[in-house]
Structure 1
Amino acid sequence: MPKQNKLVFINLSLLVSGILLSACTNAENVDNQTKVSTSSLSSGQVKTTLSKVDKTKWQYNSDDKIYYQIGISYAANPTDSSQQTLSIFVPAAYMTATENGDGTYTAELNTKANVGNYTANTAPIVIPINTPGYSSMSALTEYTSQAKTYTDEGFIYVSAGLRGRDSGAPSGVTDAKAAIRYLRYNVNQIAGDMDRIFVFGMSGGGAQSSIIGASGDSPLYDDYLKQIGAVEGVSDSVSGVMAWCPITNLDTANEAYEWSMGSTRSSLSTEEQTISDGLAEAYSTYINDLKLKDSKGNTLELTKSTEGIYQAGSYYDFVKQTVEESLNTFLANTTFPYDASSSSSGGPGGSGAPGGNPPSGQSGDTSSGSGESKNTSIESVDNIQRSGSSTSLSLTGTYNSIEEYIAALNSQSTWITYDSNSKKATITSMADFVKYMKSATKEMAAFDALDKSQGENELFGYGDGQGVHWDSRLATVVKGTNYEADFKTDLAKTDSLGKSVGERINMYTPLYYLSKYYGGYQTSNVAKNWRIRSGLSQGDTALSTELNLSVALQNYGIKNVDFATVWGQQHTEAEVTGNSTTNFIEWVNQSLK
């Protein structure tokens, strides 16, 4: 029987400890985690018809000193055999190789060599999730020099092709999980510590990285993983997540958007305004039920303001404080005179970072991906519907002092106050902040568009290119309108495996696994290292998206949560200072000390 068709059973007791459920260890390190229900596919015997990585098929790039293999299948029953493959890039020092005479090499692991802080046994594995707008990620068909940035640091770089939103959720994350399982199936066959897998991405890629990190070994994915023939008996959890501007927690994204930015809309019809207000109020109900807690253990809540809307309370104050901290971090890190025209931080119109140290990704580039041009903007490839600018201010020229800069921000009205003694700035209200710095750039019902035209409508569709409605809260808000019947019809649909859209939403909601509010609490193995960065002025999602994720992780007991918003930056690989790739690498190294 050919090797690739031979059913492989490997008793876990014969495997080294690295292949055992690494995330079970993660779970035990979470203070408040008492019990974890994990996928039936990640326990018991390893079962697959897939061959392991062929040691005789390595190729070598002498310029970059990297051994690599391209186009390795990670699914035994792929829906697209050319797409559902991965490629592996290994520092040459980790391999002892002999030439085969045909341009390939037979290589064995060299566990004695060091590259940076690591050996072949201890090296972290980094996997880019380059899926803007939940799009597909093309499988590599040739060598990519992007790997060198990571292999020079001693990392293993793995790029996996992933299905996109046109296949319907949860296809993208399912594929990523299958790729991760395949890597673990190859423990000791390839270099890298299987307990040190990090995923990273921007926008929809940041979202799917967050989902992967929160949903490790979730049984909700069992049927989908079986459907494509993923390796069974190994974990799909990861150790760490780097997410820039993650467009995630979609179950309440429409509501959060209107609560945060709905006040910046104009020219809404009476019906549209009613829907916008209804979504904002639905968000307040959700937040009060969610019961997030601050670092002192105080429950974060929304209450009605003097205007009778839910723009007051401890949660509101918490969000406002986050904005002020972002501004004050910018002011503290910026050297004046400050040239706003050449900076990406500091306010609308600029494109570099404070102190003349520009962050990469300043236009939302896809530099963390697998072969896209570094100058390709997210907006040009994600096919997400946007309109207008998120800012009504345009800062250009040079500001000689903090006071001059604040005066420019206050050019239309005074909404920022700066105390030169304490060197602290405060804002008057969130309404003023979003008016000048974070206005809505998506139509009302920002993610579940009323005409089903948004990318997320397709994401929760059924692989036929047609968008569907999926937001049950929005469905409640539109009762009595012409939209009611359409929502009712779409929410009753199921996919080819009989799963409802509600189940699929849960699968794609990180908080589903992190918060006691949801039924998925403690049913997954959550990554123990998180770094989240977001451009504060982006109009793509509400600030509360990333903020809620950060707080929920800390409430869950995750200790290493590095969260920051970046003043003045948009939908990009936002960084307070420095280069996004360099900062990511440094964070991985620090997390593993």
Structure 2
Amino acid sequence: MKHKAVNRRSVVIGIGVAAGAAATGGIALGAQADEAETSSATSGSAGSLTFDKDDYTELTATITTDTGDKLVKYHFYKAVTYVTKPVDEKYQCLNVSVPVEIDGTTVDATRAPIVFANSVGGYMPSSVADAEGVGGGGVTGGPGAGTPSGAPSASASSSAGSSDATSGGNAMVNARGGMVNLGKLGLAAGYVVVEPGARGRTLTDSQGTYYGTAPAAVVDLKAAVRYVRANKGVIPGDTDRIVSTGTSAGGALSSLLGASGDSRIYSSYLKEIGAAEASDAVFAAGAWCPITDLEHADGAYEWNWGTNATNSGSQVDRTVSKTLQAQYAEYQASLKLRGLNGFGRLTARNYDEYLLKQYLQPSATAYLADLSDADRTTYLAANTFITWSAGKATFTWGDFLTHVGARKKSAPAFDAFDLSAGENNEFGTGATQSRHFTAYSLKNDTTGVTSKRLDSDIPEKLDLMNPMYHLANKNPGRARHWWIRLGTKDSDTSLNISANLAAALDNLGDNVNHLYYWDEGHGSNIDAADFITWIAKVTGHRTK
């Protein structure tokens, strides 16, 4: 039922995923000029930033959890514009879902944690304006937005096949091939769920100007956090206990929200769109397979997957790969990070050993230990590179790379020489669709770019989009609780990108829960129930 009749602001709608739809988390990257999504951007004042607690629709949903189905009655606040000067309200709005009854028992969510679930994928635009209930938002732009860069794996033994579907950081794949939606699971646990939309890289106005490229997505998400925190005591939930979530590019943005809380470098961008005068810090951040640290991602990718052939069976240019590996070695040394559990200084020379000991062998051990004796015997017979002794799995780095098989991307993986990668589009500006953001790729450009230097705004844009920048500067407004996950067969990025993120956080003294899913591909989430429990633990929330 509709609780209150109001004259809602006009919101451009038309693309979205219906509530409860089984949407995959396709993370499409790469775009051509004639494939950019065109939208009639709206501008001007959207009015007050005061949340109307009486403007909701009461909905009921059956949500499947690890402990069975739960019947949840909740209040749904739809398409609330979170800035006063929106560029495009279709994207700069959020939905709020507040549980009021679970399996017939009344729920008081006044002080419940807030799950801030972005559905960004591929740095593309994400809208919740068309959603009819919790979990209904998703990436827009569709399959025409570029070459897929990865989607959730179809099964626990699959290595992230391509997909044309484009849902985002809210919809992931579990070990059984079913869908995981953290917004829905949070609601079923009695948490308040905020699902924000955000501009993305493919948006152009009628003049062909790109208005969703960097740093638009993170600026929008920060503005959404500010809106929620500015409405403390009005919007349901504990606005001091916001837990961000996201996958792939959405995972990168969740990491960025967590690392960059209250950083002043976003101030002018937030003021420009009329964001609330409030904190944009989040309490905790969950990131699944984050595609981040973009200016160093090419080198990290070659360090990790450089010896692996592509899907076509061919090797990438060895000169390019080795040059990027050398660049990465220099960068890794400059970080001066110490590995978890007393490993010591992380370098390009010992990172394979670190990944094996800290993540990969424990991941395989946990996977094998969970199998029946018969299934374990079968798996080991098919994967003779693993030594199983005294309940532990061991293997070499080289054998692990062979086990993973084909790499998902060519070289360079992120700043393509021909400007074809989605990340090139992410750093587009004005009427220019795509730009180089590393000096090496600019030097080796194959499109006819004549400039010898990166555009002057690129360094700032890179800082705005990289959580590692904020961690290197020990940002005091960062989140202190982190949940990071990645599949061992995920070659959409390198395994050491999230490991560096975790190490940087650990070195700062933050609470980091980081592990890798054995044999899982891009977009996997096989311990979602544990994450929901973790939220209660770190926030101190207790349900009655």
Matched residues in 1 for 2:405 and 2:246: separation?
Answer: 22
1:257 Cα shift? 0.3
Matched residues in 2 for 1:537 and 1:486: separation?
Answer: 35
Does the 8 Å contact 2:198/2:217 carry over to 1?
Answer: yes
Question: For residue 502 of structure 2, what is the aligned residue in structure 1?
Answer: 550
Matched residues in 2 for 1:504 and 1:568: separation?
Answer: 34
1:267 Cα shift? 4.5
Matched residues in 2 for 1:219 and 1:239: separation?
Answer: 18
Question: For residue 518 of structure 2, what is the aligned residue in structure 1?
Answer: 567
Listed as ranges, the matches of 1:180-329 within 5 Å are: 180-232=225-277, 234-265=278-309, 267=314, 272-295=317-340, 297=342, 299-302=344-347, 312-313=349-350, 315-321=351-357, 322-329=359-366
What fraction of aligned residue pairs are identical, expressed as a percent? 34
Q: 1:320 to 1:121 in 2, by over 3 A?
A: same
Matched residues in 1 for 2:406 and 2:90: separation?
Answer: 41
Indicate which of 197, 200, 216 corresponds to 1:164.
200
Does the 8 Å contact 2:78/2:96 carry over to 1?
Answer: yes
Question: For residue 130 of structure 1, what is the aligned residue in structure 2?
Answer: 119
1:482 Cα shift? 5.9
Q: 1:574 to 1:439 in 2, by over 3 A?
A: farther
Indicate which of 364, 368, 374 corresponds to 1:331.
368
Indicate which of 426, 429, 432 corresponds to 2:394.
426
Indicate which of 440, 454, 460 corresponds to 2:421.
454
Matched residues in 2 for 1:253 and 1:51: separation?
Answer: 38
Matched residues in 1 for 2:445 and 2:73: separation?
Answer: 62
Residue 501 (1) aligns with residue 537 (2): no
Indicate which of 436, 450, 462 corresponds to 1:469.
436
**What SS does structure 1 have at the residue aligned with 2:501?**
helix
**What SS does structure 1 have at the residue aligned with 2:394?**
strand
1:283-338 Cα shifts (integer Å, max 9, x gaps) = 11111111111245554243xxxxxxx6x33x331022222121112112222322
Does the 8 Å contact 1:438/1:539 carry over to 2?
Answer: no
> CA RMSD, aligned part only?
2.7
| Structure whose alpha-carbon radius of gyration is higher | 1
Question: For residue 406 of structure 2, what is the aligned residue in structure 1?
Answer: 439
Question: For residue 58 of structure 1, what is the aligned residue in structure 2?
Answer: 56
1:142 Cα shift? 4.4
Does the 8 Å contact 2:94/2:195 carry over to 1?
Answer: yes
- Which amino acid in the other structure matches residue 514 of structure 1? L
Matched residues in 2 for 1:267 and 1:66: separation?
Answer: 53
Q: 1:458 to 1:439 in 2, by over 3 A?
A: same
Matched residues in 2 for 1:56 and 1:136: separation?
Answer: 29
Matched residues in 1 for 2:90 and 2:463: separation?
Answer: 29
Question: For residue 87 of structure 1, what is the aligned residue in structure 2?
Answer: 95
1:65 Cα shift? 2.2
Does the 8 Å contact 1:88/1:158 carry over to 2?
Answer: yes
1:574 Cα shift? 3.1
1:504 Cα shift? 1.0
TM-score (norm 2): 0.73
**What SS does structure 2 have at the residue aligned with 1:503?**
helix
Does the 8 Å contact 2:49/2:84 carry over to 1?
Answer: no
**What SS does structure 1 have at the residue aligned with 2:408?**
coil
Matched residues in 2 for 1:163 and 1:177: separation?
Answer: 12
Q: 1:126 to 1:544 in 2, by over 3 A?
A: same
**What SS does structure 1 have at the residue aligned with 2:306?**
helix
Does the 8 Å contact 2:76/2:133 carry over to 1?
Answer: no
Uncovered stretches (5+) of structure 1, i.e. residues with no partner? 5-47, 95-112, 303-309, 339-400, 494-499, 516-520
**What SS does structure 2 have at the residue aligned with 1:199?**
strand
- Which amino acid in the other structure matches residue 76 of structure 1? T
Count of residue pairs the alignment pairs up? 425
TM-score (norm 1): 0.67
Q: 1:301 to 1:488 in 2, by over 3 A?
A: farther
Matched residues in 1 for 2:424 and 2:330: separation?
Answer: 24
1:438 Cα shift? 4.9
1:509-530 Cα shifts (integer Å, max 9, x gaps) = 1111113xxxxx1235111111
1:467 Cα shift? 1.4
**What SS does structure 1 have at the residue aligned with 2:267?**
helix
